Amino acid sequence: MVMEEIPRWLSAEEEQAWRGFVRMHDRLRFRLGRELQAESGLSFADYAVLVELTDVPEGRRRFLELARAVEWEKSRTSHHIARMAKRGLVVREECPEDGRGAFVVITPVGRAALEAAAPRHVAAVRRAFIDRLSPQEVRVLADLSRRVLGDLDEQDDGCG
User: 114-119: long-range contacts (C-beta < 8 A, 24 or more apart)?
Assistant: 114/42, 114/47, 114/50, 114/51, 114/54, 116/40, 117/36, 117/39, 117/40, 117/42, 117/47
pLDDT tens track for 59-86: 999 999 999 999 999 999 999 999 999 9
Q: What is the pLDDT of residues 111-154, one digit of tens each?
A: 999 999 999 999 999 999 999 999 999 999 999 999 999 998 88
**Domain map of the chain by residue range?**
18-128
What does CATH list as the number for 18-128? 1.10.10.10
Q: Give the whole-number percent of the chain exceeding pLDDT 70.
A: 94
Phi, psi angles (nearest 5°) of residue 89: -80, -30
Residue at 111: amino acid letter: R
